[in-house]
Amino acid sequence: MPIYKYKARDRDGLAITGELDIENQDILARKLDEMGYILISAEEAEEEKSNDIFAKFKKVKSKQLVEFSVQMSTLIDAGITLVGALEVMEDQQEDILFKKIIRNIRKDILAGITFSQALEKEPKAFSKFYCSMIKAGEASGQLDMILNNLAKFLENEESNKSKVKAALVYPATMLFVSIAVVIFLMTQILPKFEMIFSGSGIELPLPTKIVLGISRFMQDYWMYLLGGTIALIVGFVVYTKDGKGRYYFDKFKFKIPIFGVLIKKVAISRFSRTLGILIGSSVPILNSLEIVKDTVGNMAVAVVVENIKNTVREGGIISEQIELSGLFPIMVSKMVSVGEASGTLEGMLLKVADFYDDEVEIEIKALTSVIEPIMIVAMGLIIGVIVLSVMLPMFDMMKLAK
């Protein structure tokens, strides 16, 4: 169906503009009349198209969602209607994908469905958590406050992701450089020295024989090494994509030396903040736990959340299952227990999240000060072994020359 841009007035004479997928202008006029509007003018709109061939694989960025939530909250708080606020957001949106999503949401609302239902139809932009929060805002009549809380939550999530990425960038870069240097030395430099050594007639030391053997293996079987590496990576990705493989890998992440503690603290913070905000927004506890399970981002934690949900359904308490899981520190279960007993569960969960956010910052600072010397020493040892394996025969050759 064609898309019509229209101008109309409501019963009080206030102007409104918008778009609708509709067969023709006559049906558009009747549709608007049913909604309480009088059509002034309409024209068929040309839909913007993206030249980006990867557009269908893209998702809306977290930063865009933060800006959308903040601005929608401000506009609604200022007394602008939901449709009017969406129209403002659509007009100022530069990203074609998000602009189209906002347009679709506005058209769905004009067609008679709720804001939360319209958001659920756009999974590229809005998570189950986001839609549930909006639904709670609609039920409570505090949509502007919920949107503002969502913006703060998304900002906090993005901040934690940025911190973790920043902590991983340096060691990942160092590792890549180290591997590249070793491959270059083993395949380009050592073969030249091997030719020199073979013509000298000296007996090569054991370290040199080992290193040269590895060098020859890499040169002769590099295709098998590359193919094996790719196969291992693909196999790993497939195994850890879902099911038991994903569960065991997510659980293993918490035991990784140096980084495991950081990953665990980020997971605890996300679990606590998400559940705390949902409960504070009057989302039923079982629904809240189901949303947390789907959005926590770690299957090991998701299994614990599923056990918590089953316990609560049977009349049990959250803190008991948290303690039994063995995944969370005892402090978390104790604070949650106090919150359940005092009726301040939301507040306690948010305090746990704030505490672990601070712990993440401390952990990242400690990591950056420890990882650099470790990586430098490791790289130095590897290159040192290669250099030593070359220098030992050189010393023997110098002795023979004398």
What type of residue is 97?
Answer: L
Local structure of 4: helix, strand or coil: strand
Domain residue ranges in the chain: 1-47, 57-126, 156-402
Helix pair angle (318-325, 299-313), 10° resolution: 140
Q: pLDDT tens digits, residue range 298-312?
A: 899 999 999 999 999
Owner of token pair 């890549």? 176
Q: Determine the 3-state secondary structure of 12 from DSSP.
A: coil
Domain 57-126: top CATH class: mainly alpha
Give, in order, the Cα–Cα distances in Å from 306 to each of 134, 221, 303, 335: 23, 48, 5, 20
HSE of 129, CA atoms in CB hemisphere, 13 A: 24
d(CA 146, CA 69) in angstroms, rounded, equals 9
Interatomic CA distance for residues 38 and 300, integer angstroms: 56
**Residue 43: DSSP 8-state:** E
**Side by side, which strands form the sheet with 15-21?**
15-21, 3-10, 37-44
- In tens digits, the chain (402 residues) has pLDDT values of 567 778 888 777 788 887 776 767 778 788 888 888 888 888 776 555 445 444 555 678 888 888 999 999 999 988 888 988 998 898 888 888 888 899 889 888 888 889 999 999 988 888 888 888 898 888 878 888 888 888 888 888 888 778 778 777 877 888 888 888 888 888 888 888 888 887 777 788 888 888 889 888 988 888 998 899 999 999 999 988 888 899 999 999 999 887 888 889 989 998 999 899 888 888 888 988 988 888 888 899 999 999 999 999 988 899 988 988 888 889 999 999 999 999 899 899 999 999 998 888 888 888 777 777 888 888 888 888 888 888 888 877 777 665
- Separation CA 386–CA 212 (nearest Å): 9
Using only the alpha carbons of the chain, give its radius of gyration: 30
The answer to whether the CB of 2 falls within 8 A of the CB of 28 is no
Q: What is this structure's pTM?
A: 0.71
Buried b / exposed e over 312-344, threshold 16 CB at 10 Å, is beeeebbbbbbbebebbeeebbebbbebeeeee
Over the stretch 198-214, which tens digit does the pLDDT of each residue have?
A: 777 778 888 888 888 98
